[in-house]
């Protein structure tokens, strides 16, 4: 997981859309690898296929753990009818790890995960993705109206909630934190490059040399980057040691890193002034890309609620 976090962070420094595609692929692969049917992992591996998660639904929005779609058993197999609100690599992935309400399920969290091959009849991408940020990762809406056979199951019937929380969530949280750290590092590097080279000629120095407020912004950016890195490192250490409070770190790592990335990229935009509005510095791209992590589920608000519940000794759900 540490190696995964490091790779994801480095990809994100260069291209956050690519980092997010990689992150979703790794989350999907972890679920596939954990499936009782070992053949599915061998198949995806041998095909060197790209996979992704199709969890969030139009009806339950960011509450991805509660799909409102309901699978049904019919004479031909398992009938899926699910409207997914956002899927990274939509229409491009070879395989989708799909959640749907369990057959005959009673509660919102009674779900099952399936592996669906891209191009299956009834699997449709709804329009082109035109996001504020992460423009290169095709996070469009999709519909899945298809019939699957028993071998597509990634979990036992009703085992989706546990796999989403025990397998997909930790990998997503750690990877998402790494993505945000990569953005913040790149924004800091590009801001440093600009503010130490752009000059106020009439005053005889660079922006960083002449303007104390710019130095203060650089300081806040550096401290925020260091805080996110330290939190992630501490969380990875706790995971490696199987510490009892590792889950608190897993929940916190994304919240800390994504909110810091939003702050850091805002500082970057202000420190670089009008020059940041052009695409040459890449700062405006970091600013747009940074905003995605805080609204990707679990959103920051939901993470604060989960963490608050954990701290207060209350159940998460
Ligand atoms: C670029 C991008 C890529 C994505 N890729 C994927 C993907 O590959 N797979 C996938 O499954 N999903 C994906 N998503 C979806 C994502 O995980 C969220 O489900 C989605 O962003 C939530 O948006 P929404 O409009 O449905 O939010 P809403 O649920 O409508 O939330 C609106 C606001 O209410 C707040 N809120 C909601 N519930 C609570 C609560 N209980 N307590 C406090 N605040 C609350 C939220 O924090 C948010 O601020 C992606 C999203 C984006 C933006």
For atom 27 of ligand 1, the residue with the nearest CA is 62
CA geometry: angle 216, 261, 238, nearest 5 deg: 110
The backbone torsions φ and ψ at residue 166, rounded to the nearest 5 degrees and listed phi first, read -85, -30
Q: What is the DSSP letter of 75?
A: T
Hunting for tokens 């202000």 — which residue is that? Answer: 270
Task: Collect all residues with Cβ–Cβ distance below 8 Å to 186 and sequence separation of at least 6.
Answer: 12, 13, 14, 282, 286
Q: What is the pLDDT of residue 37?
A: 93
Q: What is the pLDDT of residue 25?
A: 98
Task: Collect all residues with Cβ–Cβ distance below 8 Å to 282 and sequence separation of at least 6.
Answer: 186, 190
In the chain, what are the domains?
A: 16-158 (2.40.110.10), 163-311 (1.20.140.10)
Determine whether the shortest distance from the Cβ of 299 to ligand 1 is under 6 A.
yes
CA distance 289 to 269: 13
Hunting for tokens 């020059």 — which residue is that? Answer: 275
Determine whether the shortest distance from the Cβ of 59 to ligand 1 is under 6 A.
no
CA geometry: angle 11, 125, 62, nearest 5 deg: 65
Q: What is the pLDDT of residue 312?
A: 97
Determine whether the shortest distance from the Cβ of 56 to ligand 1 is under 6 A.
yes
Q: What DSSP assignment string belongs to 239-276? A: HHTT-TTHHHHHHHHHHHHHHHHHHHHHHHHHHHGGGG
Q: What is the pLDDT of residue 137?
A: 95
Q: How many Å lie between the centroid of ligand 1 and the Cα of residue 300?
A: 10
Q: Which two tokens stand for residue 224?
A: 């925020």
Q: How many Å lie between the centroid of ligand 1 and the Cα of residue 314?
A: 23
Q: Which two tokens stand for residue 252?
A: 């916190």
Segments in the chain below pLDDT 70: none
The backbone torsions φ and ψ at residue 118, rounded to the nearest 5 degrees and listed phi first, read -60, 145
- CA of 129, closest atom in ligand 1: 1
Is the dihedral angle over the CA atoms 313, 236, 250, 101 positive or is it negative?
negative
Q: Which two tokens stand for residue 222?
A: 């550096």
Determine whether the shortest distance from the Cβ of 129 to ligand 1 is under 6 A.
no
Determine whether the shortest distance from the Cβ of 135 to ligand 1 is under 6 A.
no
As beta bridge partners, residue 124 has: 143
Q: CA distances (Å), 297 to each of 9, 59, 165, in order?
A: 19, 14, 12
Q: What is the pLDDT of residue 248?
A: 96
Q: Which two tokens stand for residue 218?
A: 């650089």
For atom 35 of ligand 1, the residue with the nearest CA is 301
Element (DSSP H or E) covering residue 144: strand 141-148
CA distance 18 to 285: 13
Q: What is the pLDDT of residue 239?
A: 98
Determine whether the shortest distance from the Cβ of 294 to ligand 1 is under 6 A.
no
Q: What is the pLDDT of residue 229?
A: 98
Q: What is the pLDDT of residue 252?
A: 98
């Amino acid at each position: 997981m540490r190696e995964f976090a490091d790779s994801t962070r480095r990809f994100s420094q260069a291209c956050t859309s690519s980092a997010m595609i990689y992150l979703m692929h790794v989350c999907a692969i972890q679920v596939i690898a954990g499936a009782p049917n070992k053949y599915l992992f061998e198949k995806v591996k041998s095909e060197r296929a790209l996979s992704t998660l199709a969890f969030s639904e139009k009806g339950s929005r960011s509450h991805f753990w509660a799909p409102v779609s309901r699978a049904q058993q019919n004479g031909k197999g398992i009938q899926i009818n699910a409207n997914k609100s956002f899927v990274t690599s939509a229409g491009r992935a070879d395989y989708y790890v799909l959640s749907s309400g369990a057959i005959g399920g009673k509660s919102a969290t009674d779900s099952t995960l399936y592996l669906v091959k891209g191009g299956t009849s009834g699997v449709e991408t709804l329009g082109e993705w035109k996001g504020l940020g992460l423009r290169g990762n095709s996070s469009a809406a999709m519909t899945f109206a298809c019939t699957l056979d028993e071998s597509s199951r990634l979990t036992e019937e009703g085992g989706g909630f546990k796999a989403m929380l025990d397998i997909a969530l930790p990998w997503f949280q750690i990877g998402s934190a790494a993505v945000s750290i990569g953005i913040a590092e790149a924004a800091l590097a590009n801001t440093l490059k600009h503010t130490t080279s752009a000059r106020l000629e009439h005053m005889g120095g660079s922006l960083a040399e002449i303007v104390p407020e710019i130095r203060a912004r650089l300081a806040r950016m550096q401290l925020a980057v260091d805080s996110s890195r330290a939190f992630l490192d501490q969380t990875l250490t706790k995971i490696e040691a199987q510490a009892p409070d590792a889950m608190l770190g897993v929940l916190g790592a994304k919240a800390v890193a994504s909110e810091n990335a939003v702050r850091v990229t805002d500082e970057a935009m202000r420190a670089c002034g009008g020059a940041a509005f052009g695409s040459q510095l890449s700062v405006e791209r970091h600013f747009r890309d940074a905003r995605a992590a805080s609204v990707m589920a679990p959103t920051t608000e939901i993470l604060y609620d989960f963490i608050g519940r954990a701290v207060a000794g209350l159940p998460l759900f």
